[in-house]
Amino acid sequence: MNTIDLVVEKIVNGGYGFARYDNKIYMIEHAYPGEFVRINVKNNKKDVYFAEVIEYLEKSPYRNRPICPHFQECGGCQMLDLEYNEQLKIKKDIVKEQIRRIGKLNDELVLDVFESDDIIGYRSKMEFAFSYNKGNIKIGLKKRNSNEIVDIKKCLIAPKEFNSTISETRKIFEALNLKIYNPKTKKGEFKHLVLRKSFSKNELMSIFITKTEYISNYKNFKSLIKEKIKSDSIIHVMNGSDSVVLRGPYKTLKGEGVIKEEFDGFEYQIPPTAFFQNNYNVTKKVLNEFVKIIKEEKISGTLLDLYSGVGLFSIYLAPLFKHVTGVENNVISVKAAHSNANINNIKNTSFVKADVKEFISQYDKKVDLLIVDPPRNGIDKEVLNKILQLKPKNIFYLSCDPTTLSRDLNILNEVYRIEFIRPFDMFPNTFHIENFAFLKLNIDN
């Protein structure tokens, strides 16, 4: 075994400890800034070497004892044993570095992180995978950089109800000898268990995902889960895709088949396969920040909300605008957005089922505020170019990936002044960080 002793300089996007030694760069799992570690290199890509710690010669003073038995092997969170204030500092540094290095922008635009009120049990949705281990059924999360499943007895970032649901599910599956899907052989039935919780309504939803509609021993499965699993809704999703966990047609086995969440009097119904923000109290902070900026900057008129999902931003902000248009490609989310507007008696919104690129290529109306909340890979180049032509007066860009955000801000910076970038800690104990960038059109454009 080739071991090297080195000092970790910082944490970089991806959650790795970063170190340099002998003109080589090392990315080290579970290593924090200032730590002196003995490492073993696992693999490399060109001049970047990926390594694991085999001994901590000097630990960070901010490193506490891990409080989860799965922490070292599970990929669910990366900073669980680090003091929370130190996590926030590291996350701000990660964003600043991406803004500086990829965005070629002044990193002083990055403000302090808005923290999460809860750092344990905060997740409103989690995706657990099924697999076998010597004949026993495993339900859990993937190991870091691996498809191997860690059998989870108790996950600390999950609400406690999720842990008891996993435990009951394991018992049911073993009692009925249900068939687990194997992605290599493409044989078997059950793929994932997705759990959702409403924090404002204290509702639970359990979603069982299978390869096809067929479930052997279906009658017993259905009666046992309805009897043993404490959920307001139980859903069966049929998903033929191995690349996306939560999609496909579904049947409601118990309950209403939606989960409801409320923010400041606005109620949202969220279908099983629709996207929704994953941390209730931080989402509330994002909404409040949006309203604060709109009022301070006296923004009104028309709002265009791209990647609008079930209408979270469109509906919440509708009272502040003459008209709001939401654009979303997912048909289930668009239907939910229409019904959410009705539930809240909002009359000045219209939701369009369309691919954002196709929709915006035909769009030519004046926009006072553009909200973009794209997937992790950011805004498509053609969409960015069209935004530069449309010249909305203000842009709120919400992003879950500081790298693609930095890339896109570098392009938007041609005609926009970036007022600030505010990180929100949507995912405590992980390296992930949500960011809100506020942009104003330059006056001479």
Residue 437 identity? A
Q: Which residues fall within 8 angstroms of residue 67, CB to CB, at 6 or more apart?
A: 80, 81, 156
> Percent helix, strand, coil in the chain (nearest 5)?
25, 35, 40
Q: Which residues fall within 8 angstroms of residue 367, CB to CB, at 6 or more apart?
A: 302, 303, 304, 390, 392, 393
Residue 5 identity? D
CA dist., res. 73 & res. 55, Å (int): 16
CA dist., res. 426 & res. 324, Å (int): 26
Residue in 68, 74, 155, 400 annotated catalytic: 400
Residue 212 identity? T
**Three-state secondary-structure class, residue 378:** coil
Any catalytic annotation for residue 400?
yes
Q: Specify which residues 6 forms β-bridges with.
A: 37
Dihedral (C-alpha) 309, 312, 317, 322: value to the nearest 10 degrees? 40
- What string of H, E and C letters represents the secondary structure of 124-139? CEEEEEEEEECCEEEE
How many CB atoms lie under 10 A from the CB of residue 176? 16
Report the interhelical angle of 218-228 vs 160-176 (nearest 10°). 150
Active-site residue set: 400
